[in-house]
Amino acid sequence: MFVFLRFTLDTTPDAAWDALTSPAVFRQVSAPLVRVRSREKGGFPERWIDGTPHEVSLRLLGIFPLGHQRIQVSFAERPGGVRMIIDKGAGLTGFLRVMPRWDHRMAVSATDDGRTLYRDRLAVRAGLLTPLVWLSMWAFWQVRASRLKRLASTWAEPHTSQVPHTD
């Protein structure tokens, strides 16, 4: 099963790309529903590093442990100015372990008016639990979409200095 999102962000594709490659923005769009912390020495990098795994812990509402997850992104470009972030990480412990293989893809490209067409796809595979896991991930993806839309208009080049790093 898949969770799909497709909508327009009120920002440029460069600003959206810059934001999506930032762990700080990942944490912002996950909050307040899910609190994400780095389990790596030195914490989060300023930018996701292509091909380098990064382990995180997640807590529902900042209280209830969901488990640990490995984020492992790669970057790709497609024809037509489409830039993609592909996360092939994995759920490692707790609830997240029911999805041992993670396939999350985000893509940005320009609209005719210079804003950003955002596409997001998560493949949900959890054996017999797939329908239940899909429903919970679908709900979380709606929260993320709302946060992305709200934050997008605040993104400007370069994005790095505008995102607070909170724990």
The per-residue pLDDT for range 133-156, each reduced to its tens digit, is 999 999 999 999 999 999 998 987
pTM of the model: 0.86
Using alpha carbons, select from 8, 22, 34 the residue that is nearest to residue 109: 8
Using alpha carbons, select from 91, 82, 78, 72 the residue that is nearest to residue 23: 72
Residue 122: inside a domain, yes or no? Answer: yes
Pairing type for strands 54-60 and 64-71 reads antiparallel
**What does the DSSP 8-state code read for residue 88?**
-
Residue 150: inside a domain, yes or no? Answer: yes
According to the model, what pLDDT value does residue 100 have? 79
Residue 6: inside a domain, yes or no? Answer: yes
Mean pLDDT calculated for residue range 14-43: 94
According to the model, what pLDDT value does residue 157 have? 61
Mean pLDDT calculated for residue range 115-125: 95
Residue 164: inside a domain, yes or no? Answer: no
According to the model, what pLDDT value does residue 101 have? 81
Q: What's the whole-number average pLDDT of the chain?
A: 90
Per-residue pLDDT band for 164 (boundaries 50, 70, 90) equals very low
Residue 25: inside a domain, yes or no? Answer: yes
Check pLDDT > 90 for residue 68. yes
Check pLDDT > 80 for residue 90. yes
Domain that holds residue 111: 2-155
Question: Structurally, how many domains does the chain consist of?
Answer: 1
Residue 21: inside a domain, yes or no? Answer: yes
Distance CA 67, CA 64 (A): 9
Residue 145: inside a domain, yes or no? Answer: yes
What's the CATH code of the domain at 49? 3.30.530.20
Residue 40: inside a domain, yes or no? Answer: yes
Mean pLDDT calculated for residue range 33-53: 94
According to the model, what pLDDT value does residue 34 have? 94
